[in-house]
Amino acid sequence: MRSERDYVAGLYTRLDDERARVKEEFDAALRGNGGTAVERNVEVRSLARESKRLDVADNGLCFGRLDTVAGERSYIGRIGLFDEENGHEPVLLDWRAPASRPFYVATAVSPEDMRRRRQFHTRGRRLVDFTDEVFGRPGGGEHGDAALLAAVNAPRGEGMRDIVATIQAEQDEIIRLDHPGVLVIEGGPGTGKTVVALHRVAYLLYTHRERMERHGVLVVGPNPAFLNHIGRVLPSLGETDVVFTTTGDLLPGLRVTAEDTPEVARYKGSLKILDVLAAAIADRQRLPEEPIPISLGDVTVRIDAETAQWAREEARESGLPHNEARAVFTEIVTYVLTERALGRIGRGWLTRDDRTEWEEMRQGLLKQLAQDEKFGAALDELWPVLTPASLLSSLYTSPEKLRNAGADQALAREDGEAWTVSDVPLLDELIDMLGQGKQPEDTAKREQQAQAQYAAEVLESLVDRKESMDDEDHLFATDLLYAEDLADRFVEQDTRTLAERAAADRDWTYRHIVVDEAQELSEMDWRALMRRCPGRSFTVVGDLAQRRSEAGATSWGTMLDPYVPGRWDYRSLTVNYRTPAEIMAVAAALLAEFAPDVQPPESVRACGIQPWSKRVTGDELPAAIEEFVRAEAEKEGTSVVIGPPGVPGTVPASETKGLEFDAVLVVDPERIIDDGPRGAAELYVALTRATQRLGVLHEGPLPPALRGLNEI
């Protein structure tokens, strides 16, 4: 024990030395130590990332040791540390390194050339105990699950914890899976699919950092409470270039304030809504009911239906978004009006052979049209510049516009801008369907950012070329000078982190996206997410049996095949690490009723506490809830009261998806089932949130699946 304590203490000393060195270099870089703006910026950002990587390692820096059959030792930890004075030898292996894999997958049957796995138990920076698992001898693996059981039995805190010290073999296989495209991880409650997905992101960032860190990672969750719950996992693993969001927050600056009925949400989530959006845009591309007179010079010309029809056809056939196609529409109308005006003004004395006079008159008429308010008003009437919000809100508040677009009248509402979660992918779609229009400042800014990005990439590629040149390669000094000049010219001194910049930019594209509770996403939600990841690199996490949304997935292929046909991989998790067997038996009985083809996950443990139920009257219910809350407040851990909408003191099951609590009280389960077509799935979610204790309060008879509960 003493030698292991000394070794761990030495690792912390080395960690502190590394921190001091990085801080000194970071301070020097901030003061400026020569080099170009790009080089200084790259150095500052690199040192900032290294500083954050070192800062996460205080708790559980080293959590184990591997001994090979050849007698070699390797210590496994949260980050990697090296002995710079001894040939950069590793003194602590990062848990993501290939050499660390046997720590998670070695078994007595398949020891991976390992003789022993030692798991450390630490408190702060001090090693207090360790457990050995010796492979190849009888009973050698009897303590192998000690660390895991200690972790799953521990009281829950405010957020999800990482599992770097207790990753199981089936989880490790998924985390390290070398699949560049879309990976679907499906598992029942408590199987750890969310935390596995987050560790997979940390692994991908470790193994493909140069490719991934420039664009970052997006993590999409079902609600803010869930994102807050999981938000500390990746930072605890040293990864901060991550944006956490819900589908309702994908558009920066948009605020969701209302909720759709399940039927309307299903309608908006279907790809059929694309036809409605296209028709709504086409409805605003109008023909004049009566010719519109425009004064040009001393004559009056008219925009008639025939002219507008020609211009509209040309604009639509251009394939440009609506606002950008306005230029084509305007060009045709302008051509017709000036031709008509020139023919009348020059009648009898001007021929097309008089090219100079003809062109001078045309330019004068064009200038006059550009300044003519009536002509501008006519264009706005026939081909207006539209914004996504104005188009969609006017559609919702006009029964006539809904009819013209072939839309269901169920979309109608009084407040057109009372946005719902289901509106977000529609607004996102309209941004591309409408185009930029009159936004030159935004366009110029975006172009400048693109040039800065390009310049940085040019410089980076040239430096890489210089380092890898052989005798036949040639790299002129002017190449590097040009790249530095280009980068200095366009680089902006933006002090925001990558995550802050990405979250504020709707057009940001990510290298990888994690979608949790993915069974809830609609077809339109998937379009919005695919738009944000051109490389189609996703980790998709969900459980079809827990689907609540009517617009959600009934199969993974339905959602993914339109984008990555035959190129997505599927993995399942079957072991329940959260829900004890006593509680899972109750949930499994319910699952068998509404999803008989789904196999419930197998619990890895029992807690020894039987779930209970209690029948109360409506008058007794508030006091019973208060009694539960008061009793749990005196215990260590967390608790929650889950109930149907409208019951004071409860939260709906949908707001607890992905969360876990030591104790759960479910109120009125029969009303939860009756609240919508997916009510049974909602109750299944509620029952599987508890890690230790489950109680049920009911006014009426219990649902059949719950009648085996101990009544108190």
Q: Confirm whether residue 188 is marked as ligand binding.
A: yes
Q: Confirm whether residue 207 is marked as ligand binding.
A: no
- Considering the domain architecture, whether residues 593 and 568 belong to the same structural domain is answered as no
DSSP state of 84: G
* Domain of 377, in residue numbers: 263-434
- Considering the domain architecture, whether residues 661 and 694 belong to the same structural domain is answered as yes
- Considering the domain architecture, whether residues 75 and 193 belong to the same structural domain is answered as no
- Listed in sequence order, the residues at least 6 apart from 543 whose beta carbon sits closer than 8 Å to its beta carbon are 186, 187, 188, 189, 193, 519
Query: What pLDDT shows up at residue 484?
Result: 44
Which of residues 96, 131, 162 is at a domain's end? 162
CATH code, domain carrying 228: 3.40.50.300
- Considering the domain architecture, whether residues 198 and 224 belong to the same structural domain is answered as yes
Q: What is the pLDDT of residues 330-380, one digit of tens each?
A: 999 999 999 899 888 766 555 656 667 777 888 999 999 999 999 999 999
- Considering the domain architecture, whether residues 401 and 278 belong to the same structural domain is answered as yes
Two tokens at 346?
Answer: 């020059």
Q: Is residue 499 included in any domain, yes or no?
A: no
Q: Is residue 357 included in any domain, yes or no?
A: yes
Query: What pLDDT shows up at residue 141?
Result: 45
- Considering the domain architecture, whether residues 528 and 586 belong to the same structural domain is answered as no
Backbone phi, then psi, for 131, in 5-degree steps? -125, 130
Q: Confirm whether residue 478 is marked as ligand binding.
A: no
- Considering the domain architecture, whether residues 199 and 301 belong to the same structural domain is answered as no
Which of residues 94, 128, 162 is at a domain's end? 162
Taking residue 465's Cβ as centre, other Cβ atoms within 10 Å add up to 14
- Considering the domain architecture, whether residues 285 and 411 belong to the same structural domain is answered as yes
Q: Is residue 450 included in any domain, yes or no?
A: no
Q: Confirm whether residue 307 is marked as ligand binding.
A: no
Q: Confirm whether residue 190 is marked as ligand binding.
A: yes
Q: Is residue 482 included in any domain, yes or no?
A: no
- Considering the domain architecture, whether residues 30 and 130 belong to the same structural domain is answered as yes
The Cα–Cα gap between 418 and 506 comes to 20
Query: What pLDDT shows up at residue 157?
Result: 64
Query: What pLDDT shows up at residue 523?
Result: 98
Query: What pLDDT shows up at residue 658?
Result: 85
pLDDT < 70 positions in the chain:
33-38, 40, 136-154, 156-158, 346-355, 437-495
The Cα–Cα gap between 563 and 568 comes to 10
Q: Confirm whether residue 187 is marked as ligand binding.
A: yes
Q: Is residue 498 included in any domain, yes or no?
A: no
Q: Confirm whether residue 566 is marked as ligand binding.
A: no
**Residue type at position 63:** F
- Considering the domain architecture, whether residues 526 and 593 belong to the same structural domain is answered as no
**Residue type at position 574:** T
Q: Is residue 348 included in any domain, yes or no?
A: yes
SS3 142: coil
DSSP state of 77: E
Query: What pLDDT shows up at residue 468?
Result: 41
Query: What pLDDT shows up at residue 161?
Result: 75
Q: Confirm whether residue 90 is marked as ligand binding.
A: no
- Considering the domain architecture, whether residues 5 and 140 belong to the same structural domain is answered as yes
Q: Is residue 471 included in any domain, yes or no?
A: no
What's the 3-state SS for 342-386?
HHHHCCCCCCCCCHHHHHHHHHHHHHHHHHCHHHHHHHHHHCCCC
- Considering the domain architecture, whether residues 529 and 666 belong to the same structural domain is answered as no
Q: Check: CB of residue 597 under 8 Å from CB of residue 581.
A: no
Which of residues 118, 133, 162 is at a domain's end? 162
Query: What pLDDT shows up at residue 494?
Result: 62
Domain count, the chain: 4
Q: Is residue 288 included in any domain, yes or no?
A: yes
